[in-house]
Structure 1
Amino acid sequence: MKVILDIEDQKADFVLELLKNLKFVKVKPISPYKAEVLESIKRSVNELKLIQEGKIKATPAKELLDEL
């Protein structure tokens, strides 16, 4: 299982050291850019689910292209 943690900067070193001492846990920090990309993808997937459920309205691709 993979898990992403959002840890306060002042507590990050402690939590990382704690996790590294657990033999069954592999720690691999990611860059702030990659974290933002993952959050953006997560928001996009949630928005797509809402569109499919009919809870929000989608914007047609033609309208998006016309704005460019």
Structure 2
Amino acid sequence: PYYNTPEAEYDKCVKFESGLHPEVKQLIGFSEIRDFPTLINKSRICDEDGRAKVNHYKTVNDNKRKGQ
């Protein structure tokens, strides 16, 4: 079937990348990952790391404000 060809894999990756948040797309896009499961996993990891980073800095800033 169409979904198992290398061209289909490439198309799925390109379509998936186009729907990513800009921050994740910037980190993932330059890698040109064309294995769909790998792309999904790396994107998920980048997204989770980005959220953790934002939450960390938000907590630090909130603690600074409480200490003033």
TM-score where L is the length of structure 2: 0.40
Higher alpha-carbon Rg: 1
* Larger RCO, structures 1/2 (Cα 8 Å, 6+ apart): 2
TM-score where L is the length of structure 1: 0.40
Structure 1 or 2: more helix by fraction: 2
